[in-house]
């Protein structure tokens, strides 16, 4: 497992952040089959732009974006006693509005949606390279871990989450294995500025402190390697 670290974001060939083609190391050995690389990055660091340029530079690669649309429209059926069906629920918004109530539910659903994307059959092309916007590993080692440390996941919820997370990934084995991570780095302040520009309704309440927490979690996991 390798970590490719881009200190600038976007980090492209040509210097100065100019939007030329991305520079990636050539895969070797077992990585030449069907490697799955994942950019685990903080919010609003530039991953969408990065993936677009990857797609333009490597059109045969299979790029899997984050399933935000699924989180915004979670089917929510009513109870048997209700005659009027309940419409879809914006789980992402609920998590940001009431993290102590909805964090465990959201992390469970986000993990499942990412795992489903990983288990989808690859395109019918020879030796497809698949790049995922985020992975079940960043769910565990960044987002869920941070929610527990700030008190939005209770110790019992965190213990249960770790138990089934580890069990599922062990059972899936090579089907959930990744060949490497692409880590796009930017300062929390830069991420906040970009987040404000894109103006997603659910993210209006995000503060710099939260982005600083996510930055620290990524650094501990991928750079300092202190995450357990």
Annotated binding residue 96: yes
Instruction: List the one residue out of 132, 133, 134 whose CA is nearest residue 122.
Output: 132
Q: Is 98 a catalytic residue?
A: no
The active-site residue out of 133, 149, 193, 224 is 133
| Cα 49–Cα 104–Cα 77 angle in degrees, nearest 5 | 90
Q: Is residue 139 part of an annotated ligand binding site?
A: yes
Residue 134 counted as an annotated binding residue: yes
Task: State the Cα–Cα distance between residues 1 and 194, nearest whole angstrom.
Answer: 30
Q: Is 72 annotated as a binding residue?
A: no
Q: Is 107 annotated as a binding-site member?
A: yes
* Annotated binding-site residue? 130: no
Task: Determine if residue 209 is labeled as part of a ligand binding site.
Answer: no
Round to the nearest angstrom and report the end-to-end CA distance of the chain. Answer: 16
In our burial notation (b when 16+ CB lie closer than 10 A, e otherwise), range 20-56 reads eebebeebeeebeebbbbbbbbbbbbbbeebbebbee
Binding residues for ATP: 194-198
Annotated binding residues, as ranges? 66, 96, 107, 134, 139, 194-198, 203
Annotated binding site for substrate: 66, 96, 107, 134, 139, 203
Which residues are catalytically annotated?
133
């Amino acid at each position: 497992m390798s970590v490719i670290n881009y200190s600038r974001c976007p980090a492209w060939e040509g210097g100065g952040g100019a939007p030329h083609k991305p520079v990636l190391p050539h895969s070797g050995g077992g990585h030449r089959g069907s490697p799955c690389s994942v950019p685990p990055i903080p919010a609003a660091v530039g991953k969408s732009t990065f993936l677009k340029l990857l797609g333009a530079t490597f059109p045969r690669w299979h790029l899997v974006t984050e399933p935000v649309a699924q989180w915004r429209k979670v089917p929510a059926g009513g109870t048997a006693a209700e005659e009027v069906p309940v419409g879809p629920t914006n789980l992402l918004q609920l998590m940001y509005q009431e993290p102590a109530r909805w964090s465990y539910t959201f992390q469970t659903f986000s993990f499942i949606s990412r795992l489903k994307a990983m288990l989808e059959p690859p395109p019918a092309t020879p030796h497809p390279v698949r790049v995922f916007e985020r992975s079940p590993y960043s769910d565990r080692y960044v987002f869920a871990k941070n929610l527990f440390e700030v008190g939005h996941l209770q110790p019992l919820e965190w213990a249960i989450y770790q138990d089934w997370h580890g069990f599922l990934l062990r059972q899936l084995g090579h089907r959930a294995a990744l060949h490497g991570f692409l880590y796009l780095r930017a300062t929390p302040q830069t991420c906040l500025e970009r987040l404000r520009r894109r103006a997603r309704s659910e993210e209006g309440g995000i503060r710099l402190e939260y982005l600083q927490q996510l930055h620290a979690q990524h650094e501990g996991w991928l750079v300092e390697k202190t995450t357990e």
